Amino acid sequence: MSEIEIESRNLDLWYGSAQALKEITMAMPEKKVTAIIGPSGCGKSTFIRCINRMNDLVKDCRITGELLFEGTNIYGNSVDAVELRKKIGMVFQKPNPFPMSIYDNVAYGPRVHGLRNREELDRIVEESLKASALWNEVGDILDRSAIDLSGGQQQRLCIARTLAVKPKVILFDEPCSALDPISTAKIEDLINTLKHDYTIVIVTHNMQQAARVSDHTAFFLLGELVEFGKTKQIFELPEKKSTEDYITGRFG
Amino acid sequence: MKTNERIIELLLFLSAATAVTIVALIIIFLLKEGLPVLVKVGIIDFCLGMKWNPIAIAGEPSYGIFPMIVASFYVAIGSLIIAVPLGLACAVFLAEIAPSWARSILKHAIELLVGIPSVILGFVGLVLLVPFIRDHFGGWGFSILAGSIILAIMALPRIISISDDAIRSVPREYKEASLALGATHWHTIRKVILPSARSGIVAAVILAMATSIGETMAVLMVVGNTPILPTPIYDILDPVRPMTSNIVLEMSYATGDHASALFATGIVLFIVVAVLNVISHRALKSKMGTRR
């Protein structure tokens, strides 16, 4: 078993007085894909947004317990959320390229972090677009607006934009829910390739997708972690009744 | 039933038509009153003429409003130079930074600012601002600077609220994407949020300029109203006379060609404001076009 990259210990989260996550304890190994499944409103997106502190934007959001990244508590006093997000990138549910050129989208992150050298930027843009399997389609139209791309291309552009920052972890928050099956297949292929270099956590409501891409799967229900284990085991021999009910489609 | 519907529809149509008719009538009236002098003097000589001397004691009267066109733009642009940075900063604070209690206080304050009658602003300008400028910067006090400051105060709430709307309508996804890449909040505001809100902000600025050019009372009270260009041309402590003041000041005793010349001033003013409104509208529309 490989090293643990992210570990959650008794993580509780409240929005105001409503508790959205209850005592989440699980460990996500390095350079593996961990899928989080569960019905809508089960807290899976809330959980993944804890990992890069996106919930900081939400008012009245309170967190207790520990969430460790490389051994340090993400919510510790000495941790700078801005620095943390350089190491933990995120791809969102709806493709959200900036309304600028394809090149500027990918170069945004490196520029944020102070890179001005044009040649270096060119190299990063090309590398990132190749790594996200988009280079062949957009390599000669880098000046075009990213908004003109198709939904699937936009999502791969968002992945390239995340890769350009050279993170260690990539969080995918239902990355295919707005895409057609062909685009979805491309993204899944991409995740399979990316896991050699990155630790990946993916939230999905599509169980087949979790089964196809992940090494480990966590099943969330009503803010609680019901079951966590090897994907094969979760799908073939779930220990809990509710997990079995969910993956066999009895609810959700 | 059927006839009832018909009558209601007809009444609604008539109400809508009334608005259009009134605008049309005003334009026709303006043209009818103003055109004679425009034809007599010539549009170019009227707009570019340097000398405004409508009641000549000896010789021909002259109707040149160039100094007033310059004055209108001068005062309006001056107000924008003051109000745009201030208003934009305030809008960014309101939309992105202010906690909700501060936001509600500011919003109410801004609404109050809109409600202040322009004559009161003019009065305050007259008794406070004009002497202040006279004592601290020199000149007569009645000046482009005084007019610009008063207009800036009037333009602020408009710039703030339209920019605030524009910033708040930037999709939240853009902000999240930027933050998730490790950008700071300020960097996100500068590089993603403001550029995405740009067309709305441009529309706000142009609209503010159109209103500033059309504003009359407050400006009239503080700009000094001399119908000549400032000397030197960049001296913002010199008094000037915008087009609006020109009409108000002289209409009570103008007759004949003189009255017609005032209407012609109105035509020029109307065209300038209309063009600015169209540009502002276009800016807002183009924003819709680029939206997903």
Q: Is the pLDDT of residue B104 over 80?
A: yes
The whole-number pLDDT of residue A205 equals: 87
The whole-number pLDDT of residue B231 equals: 86
Whether residues A52 and B180 touch (CB distance < 8 A) is answered with yes
**Exposure b/e, A66-96, CB count within 10 A at least 16 = b:** bbbbeeeebbeeeeebbebbbebbbbbbbbb
Residue A118 lies in a domain: yes
CATH architecture of the domain with range B66-290: Orthogonal Bundle (1.10)
pLDDT in tens, A78-94: 899 999 999 999 999 99
Q: Using the 8-state DSSP alphabet, how is residue A147 labeled?
A: G
- pLDDT > 70 in chain B, percent: 97
Q: Is the pLDDT of residue A1 over 90?
A: no
Whether residues B290 and A90 touch (CB distance < 8 A) is answered with no
Q: Is the pLDDT of residue B98 over 50?
A: yes
- Interface check for A201 against chain B (CB to CB < 8 A): the answer is no
Residue A141 lies in a domain: yes
Q: What is the mean pLDDT of residues B20-44?
A: 93
The whole-number pLDDT of residue A26 equals: 94
Whether residues B174 and A99 touch (CB distance < 8 A) is answered with yes
User: Which one, of B209, B242, B218, lies nearest residue B121 by Cα?
Assistant: B218
- Tell me the nearest-neighbour CA distance from A98 into chain B, angstroms: 6
Q: What is the mean pLDDT of residues B251-274?
A: 93
Q: What is the mean pLDDT of residues B208-237?
A: 92
Q: Which of B101, B169, B181, B290 to mutate to test the interface with A (most CBs of A within 10 A)?
A: B181
- pLDDT > 90 in chain B, percent: 85
The whole-number pLDDT of residue A247 equals: 86
Q: Is residue A252 very low, low, confident or very high in pLDDT (cuts 50, 70, 90)?
A: low
- Tell me the nearest-neighbour CA distance from A161 into chain B, angstroms: 8
For the record, the structure tokens of A209 come out as 């997708």
CB A158 within 8 A of CB B177: yes
Structural domain for A83, as ranges: 4-247
The whole-number pLDDT of residue B291 equals: 40
pLDDT in tens, A209-230: 999 999 999 999 999 999 999 9
- Count of beta carbons in the 10 Å neighbourhood of residue A114: 6
The whole-number pLDDT of residue B288 equals: 46
For the record, the structure tokens of B22 come out as 């009134």
**Residues of chain A contacting residue B177, judged by C-beta atoms under 8 Å apart:** 92, 96-98, 158, 161
- Tell me the nearest-neighbour CA distance from A249 into chain B, angstroms: 31
Nearest by CB to B181, from A83, A94, A109: name it: A109
The whole-number pLDDT of residue B283 equals: 84
Which CATH number does the domain housing residue A54 bear?
3.40.50.300
Nearest by CB to A54, from B180, B196, B292: name it: B180
Q: What is the mean pLDDT of residues B47-71?
A: 90
CB B157 within 8 A of CB B110: yes
CB A199 within 8 A of CB A192: no
**Exposure b/e, B7-46, CB count within 10 A at least 16 = b:** eeeeeeeeeeeeeeeeeeeeeeebeebbebbbeebeeeeb
Q: Is the pLDDT of residue B127 over 90?
A: yes
Whether residues A92 and B192 touch (CB distance < 8 A) is answered with no
**Residues of chain B contacting residue A113, judged by C-beta atoms under 8 Å apart:** 182
Q: Residue B256's Cα: distance from chain center in Å?
A: 30
Q: What does the alpha-carbon distance between residue B59 and residue B46 come to, in Å, rounded to a whole number?
A: 18
Q: Is the pLDDT of residue B292 over 50?
A: no
Residue B186's SS3 state is helix
Residue A75 lies in a domain: yes
- Count of beta carbons in the 10 Å neighbourhood of residue B190: 13
Q: Is the pLDDT of residue B60 over 90?
A: no
- pLDDT > 90 in chain A, percent: 85
The whole-number pLDDT of residue B56 equals: 80
User: Which one, of A153, A152, A201, A159, lies nearest residue A181 by Cα?
Assistant: A152
CB A222 within 8 A of CB A42: yes
Q: What is the mean pLDDT of residues B6-24?
A: 94
The whole-number pLDDT of residue B290 equals: 45
Q: Is the pLDDT of residue A57 over 50?
A: yes
Q: Is residue A25 very low, low, confident or very high in pLDDT (cuts 50, 70, 90)?
A: very high
Whether residues A96 and B174 touch (CB distance < 8 A) is answered with yes
Q: Is the pLDDT of residue A72 over 70?
A: yes
Q: What does the alpha-carbon distance between residue B241 and residue A251 come to, in Å, rounded to a whole number?
A: 76
pLDDT in tens, A137-152: 999 999 999 999 999 9
CB A43 within 8 A of CB A220: yes
Residue A140's SS3 state is coil
**Residues of chain A contacting residue B183, judged by C-beta atoms under 8 Å apart:** 82, 108-109, 112
Whether residues B180 and A100 touch (CB distance < 8 A) is answered with no
Q: What is the pTM of this model?
A: 0.85
Q: Using the 8-state DSSP alphabet, how is residue A54 labeled?
A: G
For the record, the structure tokens of A223 come out as 């803010």
Whether residues B191 and A161 touch (CB distance < 8 A) is answered with no
- Tell me the nearest-neighbour CA distance from A49 into chain B, angstroms: 10
Determine the length of chain A: 252
Nearest by CB to B176, from A54, A109, A113: name it: A54
Q: Is the pLDDT of residue B1 over 70?
A: no
Q: Is the pLDDT of residue B45 over 60?
A: yes
Whether residues A112 and B182 touch (CB distance < 8 A) is answered with yes
- Tell me the nearest-neighbour CA distance from B175 into chain A, angstroms: 9
Q: Per the structure, how many domains does chain A have?
A: 1
Whether residues A89 and B171 touch (CB distance < 8 A) is answered with no
Q: Which of A53, A80, A92, A98 to mutate to test the interface with B (most CBs of B within 10 A)?
A: A98
Nearest by CB to A90, from B171, B174, B180: name it: B180
CA angle A153, A47, A113 (to 5 degrees): 55
Residue A252 lies in a domain: no
- Count of beta carbons in the 10 Å neighbourhood of residue B229: 17
